[in-house]
Amino acid sequence: MVEKDCCNSCLTALGALRVSLVDELEGRIDSLLEILVCREVFTRDDREEVLCQLGPRARVRKVLDILTCKGEEAAKVFLSISSHQQEAQTHSHEGNTDQPQSVEYNKVKQKHKGVLTRRSESMLFYNTRHGEKILFSEHYVNLLLADGHQGLEIKRHEVLTFGQKRLSMQQKSAVQRKIAPAELFTRVNGNRPVKKVLVSGVAGIGKTILVQKMLFDFGGNRDHLGFDFIVHMTFRDLNLIDKPTNFRELVLRKNRHLVKELDNILANDDKLLIILDGFDEFRHYRSCDVDTFVTEPDEDAEVVEVFGSLMQGELLPNASVMLTSRPAAINYIPVGCIDRFVVIAGFSLTEVQDFFFRYFQDSAIAERMFAVVSANELMLTLCYIPAFCYIVCCILKESEDLCGESPKTMTDIYVQYLVALLRSHTQARAETFRQEQEAGTVQPLSDIVLKLGRLAFQKLIEHQTLFYGSDRDLAALEGCSLVSTFLDKTVAQEPGCTEEVYSFAHLTVQEFFAAVYCAMTDHPLPDALQHSAGVAEGSNNGHLDLFNRFLSGILSERNANLLSRQVGLCCHKDKVDNYRQRIIGELTMRCESGAHILNHLHCLFEQQDPSLALAVQPERLQVNVSDETLSQMDYNAIKYFLDHTKGQIAELDLTGTGVSCEALRDIQHLLLRCNRLWLGENNIDIKTAQVIADVLQVSNSITHLGLGWSDIGDDELLTISSAIRVKKNLQELWMEGNRVSYKGLLSLSDLTPNPLIKVVAIWNDLTDTDTESFCTQESITVSFSDDEMWGAWGEWVFKRCEVSSNEKLVTVLHKVCNISVHCLETQWAKTFYKQLSQLIKHRIECCTEDDMTKKLKKFDGILSHTQ
């Protein structure tokens, strides 16, 4: 192991250990180099300089030379990484020194590595032309991995919520956040060994590419994870098994070359890594917390029981397991068995640029294409997700130039994608198509696209992303050479037969094709699809949000014209007109009622027609986008609508949206038009409070401000109160559940009762004595009463609870179940908490998650004692 005297510098240690380091590291210099690049200790140029050296020993020496130039901090990180690698190897050899494996075992091990190398040597890019081979080693770009896991509450389309989380990760230091694939199973902070790792990430973020990277490195002896064997399975394959099986059979389905040594491999399970990819696609994913176990590899059971036994350590307890999943499904994983949670967060800006250089191969072309994307905020934002980055590169490569004007919306990009791929594949097979057309055997492109759209639409409504060869809609596509452009096929071997499973290359591609079908056929516009399921049961997770946005964008004039010219698809004018009227009507109604409006604003944004926004003229303009973590794309949609409206904004509700100082600055010109501004349930620090103060100092409109449960203290309140004195327009200030003390509230004394008619400060840092001192102050309320305003407050809170998911409901319950006996004597409180108790009981009946049920039952118990 690399060691150094703590009294000496790391650079001095490198010099003293140089000779021994060359001997020690020559066998693992490639993986060490990848980690250094991943940790941003080395640049891509540094890596290329090292790889130009002939032989591993020369590469070690070059690494040490570069580290000497980089300084003390780089040397420190290097020694830490090298030490962790050595420690991992040491742990992997524990218990195995007395019994070296047989020659046959080692032969099978080398053969297995060869098999994995062959399977993973080409990139798993979709839409590559027939026979086209893209080498993994030439095109792989580092992915950003971080400890932690994404929230279990996914209220909207995962890809759409990703941006905000991605930005928050970028704000952390590189050393804290970055994990190299070779480090996934190293001990975290010296804790217990890591055996079960869950890697989560949104669709297209690179989970399967990460798996391929691990298989590729293992096959080429570049990983140094310390395993003898890696067994890779996908849940798509497991879905094809509809009868009892056992773990041994599962391994051999695609690894018959292991049959002679499989008993030894399974007996030596501490040297075995099992990778299970795509848990969210498992058709039994809701039933994995099993209580019936198998303990032997050859013991037959249902697939879900074999999987559950493996995850919970009943089967092969010493084996390591890596599980990948989209966030929406991780509620159903028995998380108690997971030793490490990892989020895969796609590319950083550096990796996006690296991807362009590897994709286009020619540096001049790559720079020009990257400049095109950098000038388009939407395209650049999407490129942080690897699958989107590939789609964007594909558009630029096949089109050389963008069709028409530069894309402004999601639909614009996908229409360009469709046109570029159709053009590419028809040109590549021009002669074949000409002969087929002359013979009358080829289907028009528009027919093929609509058949793909029908398949996508039917399966989207049924919540299905996998389609089987026996499906009737798939049968209609038989013989279409273009189908492979958009559908990925898996062939599973079964005794006596084969089963074919298809899926669209990406979930969003399925949603896009579904929208094309709905827009371009006689199929009626879906009136109630979006809200056909209730939030209470957790079934409306924004399932059709992106579909509706694509539908709006396809029905816009510019995309309808482009699809007509390039693909031969035509929208009916009546359908376009009806849809435009529906957007205007629904937006007007929601603005007047204060209903949630965000996805409708996105649909308006997709149209890119200012006349539509101008046609929305509600009697009272209320914009409710609460309880959504807003991304830059969301703010763009909000600004687009409000910038095209005139006059005052009666109410803007940004409650629980994760607003930041920068976000408020971006929409500050809109805040000046607000009468009522609700910013509660956000983390409002002193910088964000200053933005609010800047608005209050200038605005002649704002009369009501809500800052409940926003973690403000005396300093933030003092900043805001000073601003109120300038215009003296603010009439009500709501700041429940914060850290305001008696001193902070005193800063408002001269502002009450004029202009501040009402200040609500319940659940703050006040003592009983402080509370009594404000009893005579009618304008400042620090405790509940039988006042009518609390009845209205209770109704507002209860409405929010009704439309909240279970995760959000629990968060609210933590806040409102802080009940005093005096409060419960009032009639409004009795009504409010009785309704709340009934809602919790209903949620418990519908809840399918054990952990969530326990949380809800806890609050049910609290409220039952109050009645």
**pLDDT over 80 (residue 809):** yes
> Rounded to an integer, what distance in angstroms lies between the CA atom of residue 726 and that of residue 696?
8
Residue 371, Cβ density class (10 Å: 0-12 exposed, 13-18 middle, ≥19 buried): exposed
List residues bridging with 343 in a β-sheet: 146, 200
CATH architecture of the region 647-783:
Alpha-Beta Horseshoe (3.80)
Strand positions, DSSP E, 57-104: none
Give pLDDT, residue 806. Answer: 80
> Rounded to an integer, what distance in angstroms lies between the CA atom of residue 704 and that of residue 677?
6
For 261-280, what is the mean pLDDT? 92
Q: Are 339 and 189 in contact (CB under 8 A)?
A: no
**pLDDT over 90 (residue 553):** yes
- Give 364 or 788, the one with higher predicted confidence: 364
Give tens-digit pLDDT for 695-748: 999 999 999 999 999 999 999 999 999 999 999 999 999 999 899 999 999 889
∠ Cα 369 372 374 (to 5°): 110
> Rounded to an integer, what distance in angstroms lies between the CA atom of residue 397 and that of residue 595?
43
Please name the residues in contact with 842: beta carbons below 8 A apart, sequence gap of 6 or more: 536
Helix (H) or strand (E) holding 675: strand 674-678
List residues bridging with 229 in a β-sheet: 272
- Give 706 or 811, the one with higher predicted confidence: 706
For 502-509, what is the mean pLDDT? 79
Token duo for residue 115: 């098999």
Q: Comparing 77-86, 435-444, 544-553, 616-625, which segment has the lowest mean pLDDT?
A: 435-444
Pairing label, strands 780-781, 758-760: parallel
% residues pLDDT > 70 (the chain):
82
Pairing label, strands 272-277, 780-781: unpaired
In three-state secondary structure terms, 498 is strand
Q: Are 831 and 792 in contact (CB under 8 A)?
A: no
- Give 597 or 790, the one with higher predicted confidence: 597
Q: Which of 82-96, 534-548, 803-817 has the highest mean pLDDT?
A: 803-817
Domain boundary assignment for the chain: 10-93, 113-346, 349-401, 412-571, 647-783, 794-864
Token duo for residue 362: 């020619």
> Rounded to an integer, what distance in angstroms lies between the CA atom of residue 32 and that of residue 80?
11
For 368-389, what is the mean pLDDT? 82
- Indicate the CATH number for domain 113-346: 3.40.50.300
Predicted confidence band of residue 425 (pLDDT cuts 50, 70, 90):
low
Predicted confidence band of residue 754 (pLDDT cuts 50, 70, 90):
very high
For 651-679, what is the mean pLDDT? 95
> Rounded to an integer, what distance in angstroms lies between the CA atom of residue 262 and that of residue 54?
38
Q: Which of 117-131, 357-371, 478-492 has the highest mean pLDDT?
A: 357-371
Please name the residues in contact with 543: beta carbons below 8 A apart, sequence gap of 6 or more: 463, 533
Q: What is the pTM of this model?
A: 0.68
Give tens-digit pLDDT for 329-345: 777 787 678 888 888 87
Q: Comparing 12-16, 303-307, 319-323, 364-368, which segment has the lowest mean pLDDT?
A: 12-16
Q: Are 289 and 334 in contact (CB under 8 A)?
A: yes
Token pair 């009983």: residue: 768
Q: Comparing 276-280, 296-300, 418-422, 652-656, which segment has the lowest mean pLDDT?
A: 418-422
Cα–chain center distance at 749: 46
- Give 823 or 127, the one with higher predicted confidence: 823
**pLDDT over 50 (residue 242):** yes
Give pLDDT, residue 404. Answer: 57
Give tens-digit pLDDT for 199-211: 988 777 888 888 9
> Rounded to an integer, what distance in angstroms lies between the CA atom of residue 269 and that of residue 14?
37
Give pLDDT, residue 530. Answer: 45
**pLDDT over 50 (residue 771):** yes
- Using alpha carbons, list the distances in angstroms from residue 768 to 139, 414, 596, 636, 825: 66, 61, 39, 46, 19
Predicted confidence band of residue 152 (pLDDT cuts 50, 70, 90):
very low
Helix (H) or strand (E) holding 371: helix 363-374
Q: Are 252 and 320 in contact (CB under 8 A)?
A: no
CATH architecture of the region 10-93:
Orthogonal Bundle (1.10)
Give pLDDT, residue 502. Answer: 80
- Give 676 or 448, the one with higher predicted confidence: 676
- Using alpha carbons, list the distances in angstroms from residue 180 to 87, 142, 143, 287: 16, 9, 9, 32
Predicted confidence band of residue 35 (pLDDT cuts 50, 70, 90):
confident
Q: Are 412 and 377 in contact (CB under 8 A)?
A: no
**pLDDT over 60 (residue 813):** yes
- Using alpha carbons, list the distances in angstroms from residue 766 to 214, 330, 739, 742, 761: 56, 40, 9, 6, 9
For 45-65, what is the mean pLDDT? 82
Give pLDDT, residue 169. Answer: 44
Nearest CA among 591, 710, 730 for reference residue 658: 710
Residue 40, Cβ density class (10 Å: 0-12 exposed, 13-18 middle, ≥19 buried): middle
Nearest CA among 132, 143, 628 for reference residue 344: 143
Token pair 């919970």: residue: 312
> Rounded to an integer, what distance in angstroms lies between the CA atom of residue 365 and that of residue 361?
8
Give pLDDT, residue 3. Answer: 44
Strand positions, DSSP E, 148-282: 196-200, 229-234, 272-277
Give tens-digit pLDDT for 98-145: 456 788 899 999 999 999 988 888 765 544 444 455 677 767 777 777
Nearest CA among 731, 639, 733, 741 for reference residue 680: 733
Chain mean pLDDT for the chain: 81
∠ Cα 779 785 791 (to 5°): 100
Q: State phi, psi for 443 to the nearest 5 degrees.
A: -85, 140
- Residue 326 region by backbone torsions, left for phi larger than 0, else alpha for psi between -120 and 50, else beta: beta
% residues pLDDT > 90 (the chain):
32
Nearest CA among 316, 309, 301, 295 for reference residue 229: 316
**pLDDT over 70 (residue 94):** no
